[in-house]
Structure 1
Amino acid sequence: MEKNDFTSSISAKISAGEAVKRISNVPEWWGITFSGSAEKQNDKFIVKMGGDSFFNFTVAELIPGKRIVWLITDCNMPWYSDKKEWANTKLIFDLAENNGVTELKFTHEGLTPDVECYKDCAPGWTHWIKTSLFSYFTTGKGVFRPPSR
Structure 2
Amino acid sequence: MSDSNFTVSVRVAATPDQAFAAIVDPRSWWGENIEGDASRVGAEWSYRYKDLHYSRQKTTELVLGRRVVWEVVDSALNFIEDRTEWTGTTIRFDIAPKGEQTEIVFTHVGIRPAVECYAICSDAWTGLITGSLRELIETGAGDPDSVEKTAA
Task: Provide TM-score, normalisation by structure 2.
Answer: 0.90
Instruction: Tell me the alpha carbon deviations over residues 87-145 of structure 1, each in whole angstroms, 9 at most, x when there is no partner.
Output: 01011000012444211000000110110011111110110001111111111111343
List gaps (5 residues or longer) in structure 2: none
Check conservation: 2:66, 2:94, Cα contact below 8 A: yes
- Partner secondary structure for residue 68 of structure 1: strand
List gaps (5 residues or longer) in structure 1: none
Task: Provide TM-score, normalisation by structure 1.
Answer: 0.92
Structure 1 runs (4+) deviating above 4 angstroms are none
CA RMSD of aligned residues (A): 1.9
- Alpha-carbon distance, 1:59 to partner: 0.5
- Partner secondary structure for residue 102 of structure 2: strand
Q: Write the distance in 2 (CA, Å) between the matches of 1:87 and 1:17.
A: 29
- Partner secondary structure for residue 132 of structure 1: helix
1:21 matched to 2:38? The reply is no
Q: Counterpart of 1:78?
A: 78
Identity fraction in percent: 30
Shift in CA distance, 51/122, structure 1 to aligned 2, threshold 3 Å: same
- Alpha-carbon distance, 1:31 to partner: 2.9
Aligned residues: 149
Shift in CA distance, 115/21, structure 1 to aligned 2, threshold 3 Å: same
Check conservation: 2:12, 2:101, Cα contact below 8 A: yes
